[in-house]
Amino acid sequence: MVSKQEQAAVDADDVSPKDASTVILIRDATPELAGGGIEVFLLRRVKGMAFAGGMTVFPGGGVDPSDAVAEVQWAGPPVEWWAERFSTDPARAKALVCAAVRETFEECGVLLAGGSTDTVVADTSHYAHARIALERRELSFGEFLAREELVLRADLLRPWANWITPIGEGRRYDTRFFVAAAPDGQIADGATSEAEEVTWLSPAAALDAWKGGGSVLLPPTWSQLTALQNFDSVAEVLAAEPEIPVILPTLITDEETIRVEFPGQDGYYEAGPHPWSVRGRKRTPPGRAESAERSK
C-alpha cells in the first residue's frame, strides 16, 4: 500500500492536464505487403525527454498559446463541429485542430494545408526553414500559413479519441487524437529534435514489435494500434465515426508495481514492455521517472 507520506507527495505534485493534439498518419499498405491493409507512421522519441522519452508514439504535442489565436484560412467542418465531436468549446476546438496540423508538420514534415480549399502542397521541402522556426517557437503557425498563403485543410482530419494522462503523473495532458491520410507526394520524415527513429508499420507489425521488446508503447498508442487492426483501408478509417469517450486511466501504486488501469487493458499487460515496468521494480513514486510530455 502507499503510505500517507507518499500519497501526500503525489497529491501535492498533481497538476491540471494541458491540452494536446496527436495525429495518427495512415496510408494504404504497399502492394508487396502481404494481406494489404493500412500502415501507420510512428516515431521513437529521444530518450531522456521529460515526457515519453524512448517511447514509440504518433506525431503530436501540446497546444501552443498561439494556436488559440491563429487567424487562418480554414477548409472543412467549422470549429463548432469539432467542438461537438470532442465535447469542448469552439475556441479550444480551433486550437486543437491548429495544433494537430502544426505538430504534424513540425515532427514529420507532413503539412495538411494547400494553396486553396481543395489542394494540398505536394512538396514541403521548401518550407524546411519555416519548420525549424516553428519548432523553436520563433514563428507562429498562423504567421507561417499567412505568409505562404496556405489554407488549413481541417477536412483532411478526422476526430478519433480522447485520453487524459492519469492523476498522479508529473506531467499531464488532455490529448485529442486525430487520424489523417498522408498526402500524396509528401514524405514523412524524422527531421525533428524529438525523434531518434521513424517508421511506417502496419498496426499488427507495430504490435508484434512491441511484443518482441522492440518498442515501448503508452496505453493510448497501444489502444489505437489495436483498434486500427480492424480496418482494411484508409478509406474505411476515414469513413468511421467512432464514439469519443473521455478516457482517464487510473494510476495504481502498491508495494511491488506501478501500473495504470484503462478500458480494454487486458492485452496490454499480457505481453510487451510498458513504461511502468522499471518504475514498478524500483518502486519509484509516480511522476518521478518517465512522466510523459503528452499521451501519444
What are the pLDDT digits (tens) for 209-268?
A: 999 888 889 999 999 999 999 999 999 999 999 999 999 999 887 756 778 899 999 889
Hey, what amino acid is at 270? E
Is pLDDT at 57 greater than 50 in this prediction? yes
Q: How far is CA 216 from the centre of its chain?
A: 15
Distance in angstroms (rounded) separating the CA atoms of residues 217 and 219? 6
Smallest CA-to-CA distance from 97 within 22, 182, 27, 43 is with 22
pTM of the predicted structure, to 2 decimals = 0.86
The whole-number average pLDDT for the span 174-200 is 87
Distance in angstroms (rounded) separating the CA atoms of residues 86 and 95? 12
Is pLDDT at 50 greater than 80 in this prediction? no
CB 120, CB 110: distance < 8 Å: no
The whole-number average pLDDT for the span 62-66 is 95
Smallest CA-to-CA distance from 6 within 293, 286, 218 is with 286
CB 41, CB 200: distance < 8 Å: yes
Is pLDDT at 295 greater than 70 in this prediction? no
Contacts of 53 by beta carbon, 8 Å cutoff, 6+ apart: 45, 46, 47, 290, 292
What are the pLDDT digits (tens) for 2-17?
A: 333 334 344 435 689 9
pLDDT at 276: 67
Q: Which three cell numbers stand for residue 54?
A: 524512448
CB 228, CB 237: distance < 8 Å: yes
CB 203, CB 228: distance < 8 Å: yes
Is pLDDT at 89 greater than 90 in this prediction? yes
CB 225, CB 40: distance < 8 Å: yes
Contacts of 169 by beta carbon, 8 Å cutoff, 6+ apart: 251, 286, 287, 291, 292
What are the pLDDT digits (tens) for 116-153?
A: 999 999 999 999 999 999 999 999 999 999 999 999 99
Is pLDDT at 192 greater than 80 in this prediction? no
CA 148 vs CA 101, 128, 145: distances in Å: 15, 13, 5
